[in-house]
Chains A and B, each alone.
Chain A
């Protein structure tokens, strides 16, 4: 079974159209992975679906890096 971090990495790579090896924990979604606001909307809806966790737009704003996303999901009770 893949870990939360691996699933986040795969979802980000898929939604942002980047290779998984650039989706490192420290990678910033906007500055390093070139996400714009529409990419982010699509990404967070994809993550919400992948993990079956609601991600309100207000809470997305604080998620700047891949690591932030993983921590956020773990904080929501996602295991792995």
Chain B
């Protein structure tokens, strides 16, 4: 299992070309981590494609024997508060569960970092669901905790 990371191919791919292949992984991803499972998964394909055409999104993939097994999608933009700072904000990061006993996830994150550095991305933000423990991986990779995000459903009666 540990060798699978060595066999994986990491690359940047076009969102336009990924939709058919990525759909089953997005469903599995949503089922695994969605905090509000009642909100349906409806990726705005045209929206992503438009942002990609405008240069605002990067899709980094992991493939094993040609099969898509993971992805890290990052929005890249100049921060509105610090407009000289180009920053990356992870949108989704996923690795097929049966491959998580390897370093493949860490390698995908590092590939993403290496791909964004030459673009002069100054900060890369990675988010993790509060109930999950992926933060330990980011911590090992040199990330620091900078934000907490709180959510409240406004379509429900207040308790």
Chain B residues closer than 8 Å to A38, beta-carbon distance: 100, 133-134, 136-137
Chain A residues closer than 8 Å to B141, beta-carbon distance: 41, 57
Best-surrounded residue of B104, B134, B137 (most CB of chain A within 10 A): B137
A12 shortest CB reach to chain B, Å: 15
Given contacts A37-B104, A37-B105, A37-B106, contact A45 B2 (CB under 8 A): no
Other-chain residue from B2, B102, B104, B136 in contact with A41 (beta carbon distance below 8 A): B136
Cα distance, A61 to B102, chains bound together (Å): 9
Find out whether the CB atom of B136 lies under 8 angstroms from the CB atom of A42.
yes
Cα distance, A42 to B134, chains bound together (Å): 10
CB nearest neighbor in A for B1: A30
Tally A residues with Cβ within 8 Å of B.
15
Bitwise, A31-43 to B at CB < 8 A (1) or not (0) is 1000111101110
Chain A at the B interface: SS class: helix
Chain A residues closer than 8 Å to B106, beta-carbon distance: 37, 41, 57
A63 shortest CB reach to chain B, Å: 10
Interface residues of B (CB under 8 A from A): 1-2, 5, 100-106, 110, 133-134, 136-137, 139-141
Other-chain residue from A30, A42, A44 in contact with B2 (beta carbon distance below 8 A): A30
A38 shortest CB reach to chain B, Å: 6
A40 shortest CB reach to chain B, Å: 8
Best-surrounded residue of B102, B104, B106 (most CB of chain A within 10 A): B106
CB nearest neighbor in A for B104: A37
Chain B residues closer than 8 Å to A61, beta-carbon distance: 2, 5, 103
Cα distance, A44 to B103, chains bound together (Å): 13
Given contacts A37-B106, A38-B134, A41-B106, contact A30 B101 (CB under 8 A): yes
Given contacts A31-B1, A57-B106, contact A41 B139 (CB under 8 A): yes
**A19 proximal to B (CB < 8 A):** no
**A50 proximal to B (CB < 8 A):** no
Cα distance, A57 to B1, chains bound together (Å): 17
Bitwise, A12-52 to B at CB < 8 A (1) or not (0) is 00000000000000000011000111101110110000000
Find out whether the CB atom of B140 lies under 8 angstroms from the CB atom of A45.
yes
Cα distance, A30 to B4, chains bound together (Å): 13
Q: List 25 A-B contacts (CB under 8 A).
A: A30-B1, A31-B1, A35-B101, A36-B100, A36-B101, A37-B100, A37-B101, A37-B102, A37-B103, A37-B104, A37-B105, A38-B133, A38-B134, A40-B103, A41-B137, A41-B139, A45-B136, A45-B140, A57-B103, A57-B110, A57-B140, A57-B141, A60-B103, A61-B2, A64-B2
